[in-house]
Structure formats: C-alpha cells, structure tokens
Amino acid sequence: MFEHIQRVPGDAILGLIEAFKNDPRSRKIDLGVGVYRDDKGDTPILPTVKDAERYLVEHETTKSYIGSHGAADYGDLVLSLVFGADSEVLAQQRASLTQSPGGTGALRLAADFLRTNLSPRRIWISDPTWPNHIGIFSAAGIEIKRYPYVDDQNHFVFDLMLEALRQIPEGDIVLLHACCHNPTGYDLSREQWQAVLEVLRERRLLPLIDMAYQGFGHGLDEDAYGVRLLADNLDAMIITFSCSKNFGIYNERTGAFILVAGNKEEMLNIRSQAAITARENYSNPPAHGASVVSHVLGNDALRQQWVSEVTEMRQRIRSLREQLVNALDAHGLRERFSCVLEQNGMFSYLGLSPEQVDYLRDEYGIYMVRSGRASMAGLRSEQVEDMAAALADAVKK
C-alpha cells in the first residue's frame, strides 16, 4: 500500500532547530527559526503570560469545547488590538474573528475558506515570502503567482511590486505582510500602503494580510497601519493573525482568521462559513493560549505590562541590528550591510548566496535559512563581534 511513497526532505526552517541542536561546537550561533531569544539565548515565558497561567490554574472551571469560532472575549480583544479600540470597522460590525491554531492554522482556514466560497484562480505572493505560504495555498489547490519584492542586490523594489500588482487580473488574491516582512524585513511605508490600496481598489483585488509580528516592527499601533488603512477603505479583506511572537506562546498555537465584509449582514454570512471551515479542519481550536491572551489583554495593569514586554523585545532586536552594523564597520562593510538597519522585526535578509550561508554554518557554526535570512533575535550581544568577523569572511567567498 505505502511502497510507492517517497521520503522527502523535512521543512527547511524547522530542520534548522534540530541541526543547530546537534552541532557540538560551543561558539555556534542560531539565527534560524523565528523565535525570540533574550541576551542569554533563552526564550523565556513572558511574566504576564505566567501571571495569566497562574490565574487560570485557580479559576478555570471547565475544559469543555469552546465552539468553532473560539472564545468570544478573545475574539473581541484581538479585534481591538488589530483594528484599534476606536475602529470604525468594529463599530460598523464589519469584522469577524475565528480563533485558530496559530497563524499557520489561520492561513489554512483562509485558503480553505477561499477555495470553498470564491473558487479563486490565483494568489499573488511576494518574491520571496515565507516558504510555508506556498505550501499552504498549494495544498488547498490555489495557484501561486509571484510579484517582485527584492532584487538581486537585496533592495526592496516597491515600484516593480506596484507595477506587477497593476497587472493582476480582477478578482485575484494578493498576500501582503502587515509588518516585519518574512523573510526580508523590508516593510511598506505609509505612502506605499496608500498606493497599494489604490491599486487593490482599482483592480478589485482581494487582500489577504498576514500579521504575525504585530509589535515587533515599530509598535503595536504603528505595525497595524496598513491593515487599518485597508480595512477602513475596502469592503472585503482577510487577515491572518498570530499571537506566537508577541505573546511568546509559540507552542500554544494561538492565532486568528479575520474576515472584513462590506456590512454586518455580509459579515454574518461569511462568518457562518468560517465556522464550517474550522469545523471541517479541527472542529474547535485549543483553548489555553487564547485564555492567556484574553486574561492579559482584558486586565489594564497586565495589558500595560505586556506592552512593555513587547517593547523590550522590539528594542533588543533593533539594538542588535545597530550593534551588528557597527561591528561590520570595522571590516569596511557598513554600507554592504546597511540593509540591516532598514529592515524591521525579527528577520534580516542579508543578501548572501546559499553557498555563503553553508560556509557560515560549516566554518563558524552560524545557522540561518539558505535564502540568507537571519533571525536577528537569535544573536547575543557577546556574539556580535564574532558574527561580524564571520560575515566579513563569508562575503569574500
């Protein structure tokens, strides 16, 4: 029965976790998977999350099902985090949230929802993008097309991107990253979001915004600028949201599939479909992570503390970017790596060839995705000099 099934290579990003663990060298550096680390190299549980968990141990009274849309308080709190508490979209009841198992689960819900309800021909994704976008939408039977995002010299090519969006056939879907673009770290400015909005409207394209890093770019509200602009001005969009990074609850699989419609009636119609999509995938989402998020966001003092925790994570990554570029200056490479300061969030696209990435791994025990994506949050201050010296060596190859 199974004789014909071939073994396939594992996932390139998740595979780096294992490869790094198995490397016996003590000076190794893990810039692989997008997981935040502190300056000791740990991924600690946020104090607010710990507080919420203590509260839940005492006060949770049942482990019964929570329904296909998940917990209602989580839905309301996350919607107001994404759109802002005074959002018109929320006042008009045009947005629906379905709790999902992580951001990846939200993307799969989006893909299945689209295939069932709109039979879309194509989804347009940035070149490059997070590789799993391709896997998820292909698995749901949606054709993948690409628009340019960076050129061979590792420059963000917004003009080419916009030109490509203008050529997309009406009714297709366009996947955009809300902030902290994965893998490049290059984000749209406010003016660029405005220009994208105009093209989406003109061409009647459906935006799907992947929002996995709210708070890691410039701030919780700042990082939601594009999402809010589009939601305020369009009568159809999809957002896939993740709490993995900004709450540090990676293994609790907590995310959201958000639909924005033209009015409340239409929202209720598509919301009913979202429940069926969830039911057919996994029935009910896991509850724990969402209960933690609701407890933190629903309590003023804890929420404020959480905002500080997110700020600290963001500032640490920003400071590492500066430290690295300063250290590269000593090697005459400030300009070559000035991209590191332009990019936002966890990832930096360093403009390295796959061979240079392999060289860094083999010679220095530095692990990153072969596209040249480095997860900056994996760097410790004490490793910055070594990292700069290794990069200076690798770029000579």
- Interacting residue ranges for ligand LMR, rule: CB under 6 A: 13, 33-34, 130, 132, 182
Distance (Å, rounded) from C-alpha 126 to C-alpha 303?
Answer: 34
Of 132 and 246, which has the nearer Cβ to ligand LMR?
132
Q: Copy the structure tokens of residue 318.
A: 């920003």
Task: In angstroms, give the least distance from the CB of 150 to ligand LMR.
Answer: 16
Alpha helices by DSSP H, listed for the chain, are 12-22, 47-59, 72-83, 88-91, 102-118, 131-139, 158-166, 190-203, 225-233, 264-281, 288-297, 300-329, 339-342, 354-364, 384-394
Burial of 31 (0-12, 13-18, 19+ CB in 10 A): buried
State the nearest-atom distance from the C-beta of 299 to ligand LMR, in Å: 28
Decide whether 55 or 282 has the Cβ nearer to ligand LMR.
282
- Nearer to ligand LMR among residue 34 and residue 226 (C-beta): 34
Give the nearer residue to ligand LMR in terms of CB position, either 142 or 374: 374
Answer yes or no: are the C-beta atoms of 222 and 198 closer than 8 Å: no
Look up residue 146 and give its two tokens.
């690409």
3-state secondary structure of 91: helix
CB of 125 to ligand LMR, least distance (A): 14
The one catalytic residue in 30, 172, 187, 210 is 210
Output the smallest distance, CB 228 to ligand LMR, in A.
23
Are the C-beta atoms of residues 367 and 20 closer than 8 Å to each other?
A: yes
Nearer Cβ to ligand LMR (92/281): 281
Check if the beta carbon of residue 216 is closer than 8 Å to that of residue 314.
yes
With respect to ligand LMR, which residue has the nearer C-beta, 130 or 149?
130
**124 included as an active-site residue:** no
Read off the amino acid at residue 283.
Answer: S
CB of 140 to ligand LMR, least distance (A): 17
For 169, the token pair is 């056939």
95-100 sheet: strands from edge to edge: 95-100, 255-260, 237-242, 206-211, 173-177, 122-127, 143-148
Given the residues 130, 172, 193, 223, the one annotated as active site: 130
Give me the least distance between CB of 124 and ligand LMR, in Å please. 20
Catalytic residue among 172, 223, 245, 306: 245
Per-position DSSP letters for 330-377, written without gaps between them: TTT-TTTTTHHHH--SSEEE----HHHHHHHHHHH-EE-BTTTEEEGG
Is 187 an active-site residue? Answer: no
| Active-site amino acid positions | 130, 210, 245
